[in-house]
């Protein structure tokens, strides 16, 4: 059976209409980030694991915040972030999956070992005595659980050292610290997070503009994908959204940092070898959006 060129072109156009109709390209609304969180061992293992997960999700948000906020500003406002952002992690995290998890023994975290040892010591000191104090022959009140009675060792010191090791569990044996680690892959609502951070820190966002691109010659999906990736090389494009499609022509709405003036030069820098670029007259078209017409150059045979 022979299929005519017109039939092939019509089928291709129909397929592209279906594809583009369901396409909305946006890098500004959500972002997928990988992060790791951990928590040192304590007597309640479930609490340890929950703390590790919370820390991993917190790290996910922090990775996004670092993209547009200076690290010094983050450090200066750590308590504010803790109270206003990290306290409501799932407000910004749309979904997440745990990639891996497990116990890891660290030998480079003396601060954790010291903190856990101090916590265990404090718990031991606050533990009530099960034996009432008694008086000796001289009337001095002594504790039968004391380390020494009448100068003789009761063996309590050795017992306490063994108990302290048991209290700390796997944390400090061999000088290491056991911590529970969780690695996650989280989808973050970066737009919501960015807006709240800007309000929280009083950051004024840079001015942005909406540009319309009318692009000819994008006849298949690979060409469309390549064109999008090339646009991002301008380093001022924030968001690309599909608006309309007809045979051989795609209309895109593009959000950029700054104003339209000078954007044509950036387009020429990344597209000039393959496309001719024209900026349309707003007066002629009666539009409030700056529009660029982009057509493929004819290749010389």
Q: Quick one: fold of 31-107+179-201?
A: Dodecin subunit-like (3.30.1660)
What band does 8 get if pLDDT is binned at 50, 70 and 90?
A: very low
Q: What are the tens digits of pLDDT across the range 107-147? A: 766 656 565 556 556 655 655 544 444 444 555 544 444 44
* Residue 260, strand partner residues: none
What pLDDT does residue 138 have?
Answer: 56
Q: Indicate the domain borders of the chain.
A: 31-107+179-201, 110-175, 206-296
Three-class SS string for the chain? Answer: CCCCHHHHHHHHHHHHHHHHHCCCCCCCCCEEEEEEEEEECCCCHHHHHHHHHHHHHHHHHHHHHCCCCCHHHHHHCHHHHHHHCHHHHHHHEEEEEEEEEEEEEECCCHHHHHHHHHHHHHHHHHCCCCCCCEECCCCCEECCCCCEECCEECCHHHHHHHHHHHHHCCCCHHHCEEEEEEEEEEEECHHHHHHHHHHHHCCCCCCEEEEEEEEECCCCHHHHHHHHHHHHCCCCEEEEEEEEEECCEEEEEEEEECCCCCHHHHHHHHHCCCEEEEECCHHHHCCCCEEEEEEECCCCC
pTM, to two decimals: 0.47
Is pLDDT of 244 > 90? no
CATH code for the domain defined by 206-296: 3.30.70
d(CA 185, CA 48): 20
**Rounded Cα distance, 247 and 207, in Å:** 34
The pLDDT value given to residue 126? 59
> By C-alpha distance, which of 271, 278, 58 is closest to 184?
58
Q: Is the pLDDT of residue 246 over 60?
A: yes
Residue 184 has pLDDT above 90, yes or no: yes
In tens, the pLDDT along 70-110 reads: 888 889 889 989 999 999 999 999 999 999 999 998 876 66
| Rounded-to-integer distance, Cα 145 and Cα 132, Å | 9
- Return the structure tokens found at 83: 């109270």
* Mean pLDDT computed over 47-71: 92
DSSP strand pairing (290-296 vs 208-216): parallel
């Amino acid at each position: 059976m022979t299929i005519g060129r017109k039939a092939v072109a019509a089928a291709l156009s129909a397929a592209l209409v279906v594809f583009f109709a369901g396409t909305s390209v946006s890098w500004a609304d959500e972002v997928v980030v990988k992060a790791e969180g951990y928590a040192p061992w304590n007597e309640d293992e479930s609490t340890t694991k929950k703390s590790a997960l919370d820390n991993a999700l917190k790290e996910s948000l922090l990775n996004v915040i670092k993209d547009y906020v200076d690290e010094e500003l983050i450090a200066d406002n750590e308590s504010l972030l803790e109270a206003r952002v990290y306290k409501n992690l799932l407000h910004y995290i749309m979904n997440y999956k745990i990639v891996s998890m497990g116990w890891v023994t660290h030998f480079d975290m003396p601060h954790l070992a010291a903190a856990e040892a101090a916590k265990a010591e404090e718990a031991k000191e606050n533990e009530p005595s099960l034996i009432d104090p008694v008086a000796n022959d001289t009337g001095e009140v002594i504790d039968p659980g004391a380390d020494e009675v009448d100068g003789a060792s009761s063996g309590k010191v050795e017992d306490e050292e063994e108990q302290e090791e048991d209290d700390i569990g796997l944390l400090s044996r061999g000088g290491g610290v056991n911590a529970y680690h969780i690695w996650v892959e989280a989808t973050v609502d970066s737009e919501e997070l960015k807006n709240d951070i800007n309000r929280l820190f009083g950051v004024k966002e840079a001015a942005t503009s909406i540009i319309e691109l009318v692009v000819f010659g994008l006849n298949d999906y690979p060409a469309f994908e390549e064109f999008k990736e090339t646009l991002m090389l301008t380093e001022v494009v924030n968001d690309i959204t599909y608006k309309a499609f007809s045979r051989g022509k795609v209309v895109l709405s593009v959000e950029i940092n700054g104003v339209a003036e000078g954007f044509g030069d950036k387009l020429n820098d990344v597209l000039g070898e393959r496309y001719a670029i024209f900026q349309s007259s707003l007066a002629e078209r009666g539009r409030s959006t700056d529009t660029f017409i982009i057509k493929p150059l004819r290749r010389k045979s």
